[in-house]
Amino acid sequence: MLYKETAQGFEPWNPADPIGSFRYPSNIEQLWDAASLAALGLYAPVGSDPVPDGKIVTGTTVQRVGNVVKFVNTLEDAPVRTPSDTPLTMRQLRLGLLLIGGFSSSFIQEAIDAIPDATQRGIAQIWYDESSVVEWDHAMTQQLIAGAGLTTEQAATMWMQAKDLDA
């Protein structure tokens, strides 16, 4: 898409709008080189700079930076993610316990087996065996964290590192 330079900045060019008193073909971008387009005040902006870690894009404009017409992002600090807004797949959870937490695959099973009430133990087993996505705030997640003897801080640290494991 071409952008037209105006006194107010850059705006998307509508091929139906004449430049001067002449209408140009809508495929002019494929027919003319960048210098010929620039002579008309038309530009195909280059891509924006990469978004740094910890930032998010809140808007994009077209601007002249030096002698280059490019997309320029408006950035803000990314919100801090927490376990509560970061569900894990069961695979990420299990790999996180093993690879990050250093716990054997039987670690959670031992916590489930230690639940005294048979019904609650059965519910925990089904939850652990059959869940595909694990929510931090789910009551069973919190029960198993406590039952396994993990502090909330230990579990949260492992959780936030596990989110980056291949799901």
pTM for the predicted model, two decimal places: 0.57
100 to 92, 162, 163: CA distances (angstroms): 11, 7, 11
Q: What is the pLDDT of residues 135-157, one digit of tens each?
A: 999 999 999 889 888 899 999 99
Q: What is the DSSP string of 78-147?
A: PPPP-GGG--EEHHHHHHIIIIIS---TTHHHHHHHT-SSHHHHHHHHHHHHH-SEE-TTSHHHHHHHHH
d(CA 161, CA 108): 18
User: Which residue has tokens 């809508």?
Assistant: 26
pLDDT in tens, 64-89: 999 999 999 999 999 988 999 999 99
Express each pLDDT in 11-36 by its tens digit. 999 999 999 899 999 999 999 999 99
